[in-house]
Amino acid sequence: MLVERVALVTGASRGIGRAIAIALARQNAKVIINYKGNKEAAIEVQELIRQSGAEAQLVQADVSSSEQVQEMMEKILKEYGRLDILVNNAGINRDTLLMRMKEEDWAQVMQTNLTSAFYCLKAAVRPMMKQRSGKIINISSVVGLHGNVGQANYAAAKAGIIGLTKSAAKELAPRGIMVNAVAPGFIITDMTKQLPSEIQDKIISGIPLGYLGKPEDVANLVVFLAGPGADYITGQVISVDGGMSI
Ligand code: NAD
């Protein structure tokens, strides 16, 4: 149970972030649902959580903006006075082969998937250091571990998340703050639904368990890492991929 723990999940209006927000709320955490533009979807997540009897707040912010992240954190600290769990989940992809990749495709993916995590982590660490406790969970990807054709920008950003996780884990361990990364394989969300079915079939053929993952599969691990059962785990990258990366 995560009673009285304040948890911020970035990009929580849909997909994996939504599942994480709902799963943390099920453990009675007070969940802050960050969203960039889709307020309606974010309200839906908030309503779902409130109906289950848990607490949820919305906070709009584009996490690729340092100013907006700082404002978001000020609002959270004004309301709750603390932050116990940060899940850096927001992400985008702009897939294309290297030869066709525009500088803009590179920069947007790095800014949204990697630099945003640095902004949020930096802002969260201040209250966590005062509390001398905290759990930070960064959503990486198996692509960050192994690379992928057409995803050089995304793979570089997700590999960057791993370096950030390990460095932050070493730096923050003496303050009681644990930092881990989760590397999902192929999870059914809006990000992956757009792939043609023949590519999806090819991906499935490389997954030992033989099927695609659900957002809840990732959320279950995040809940574990956020809880007291994972207090001796830090700086790790854990795959949730049906065995894809074996
Ligand atoms: P998704 O596209 O369904 O959701 C991404 C969320 O991030 C959306 O709610 C979006 O609004 C939000 N977001 C994007 N840019 C933002 C910004 N600047 N500020 C705030 N929010 C922003 O994708 P998903 O599949 O749920 O992905 C969630 C995370 O999991 C991402 O980091 C993604 O890279 C990672 N991931 C997904 C898969 C997969 O197979 N779906 C695999 C590995 C890793």
Tens of pLDDT, residues 181-191: 999 999 999 88
Q: Which of 119, 154, 211, 232 is catalytic?
A: 154
User: What are 180's two structure tokens?
Assistant: 């881990």
Residue 83 CA, distance from chain mean position: 16
Structural domain includes residue 245: no
Instruction: Look at residues 118, 224, 222 and name the one whose alpha carbon lies nearest to residue 171.
Output: 118
Structural domain includes residue 191: yes
Report the SS3 class of residue 199: helix
232 is catalytic: no
Report pLDDT for 62: 98
Structural domain includes residue 246: no
Structural domain includes residue 48: yes
Q: What is the mean pLDDT of residues 118-142?
A: 98
Structural domain includes residue 165: yes
- DSSP symbol at 177: E
The structural domain count of the chain equals: 1
User: What are 156's two structure tokens?
Assistant: 């570089």
Average pLDDT along the chain: 97
Query: Rounded CA gap, 182 and 140, in Å?
Result: 6
**What number of other Cβ atoms are within 10 A of residue 231's Cβ?**
11
Query: Rounded CA gap, 84 and 78, in Å?
Result: 14
Rounded to the nearest whole angstrom, what is the distance from the C-alpha of residue 139 to the centroid of ligand 1? 9
Q: Is the pLDDT of residue 226 over 90?
A: yes
Report the SS3 class of residue 92: coil
Domain span including residue 233: 6-240
- Of 36, 186, 195, the residue with max ligand 1 atoms within 8 A of its CB, to mutate for a pocket test, comes to 36
Rounded to the nearest whole angstrom, what is the distance from the C-alpha of residue 177 to the centroid of ligand 1? 24
Q: Ligand 1 within 6 A of 14 CB?
A: yes
The model's confidence at residue 75, banded by pLDDT at 50, 70 and 90, is: very high
Query: What CATH number is given to the structural domain containing 43?
Result: 3.40.50.720
Report pLDDT for 199: 87
Nearest CA to ligand 1 atom 23: 191
User: What are 149's two structure tokens?
Assistant: 């054709």
- The string of DSSP letters for 46-63 reads HHHHHHTT--EEEEE--T
User: What are 39's two structure tokens?
Assistant: 């307020």
Q: Are 226 and 30 in contact (CB under 8 A)?
A: no
User: What are 101's two structure tokens?
Assistant: 């990749």
The model's confidence at residue 110, banded by pLDDT at 50, 70 and 90, is: very high
Structural domain includes residue 54: yes
Q: Is the pLDDT of residue 172 over 90?
A: yes
Structural domain includes residue 34: yes
Query: Rounded CA gap, 98 and 150, in Å?
Result: 7
Report pLDDT for 175: 97
Structural domain includes residue 212: yes
What order of strands is seen across the sheet that includes strand 85-88? 56-60, 30-35, 6-9, 85-88, 134-139, 177-184, 237-240
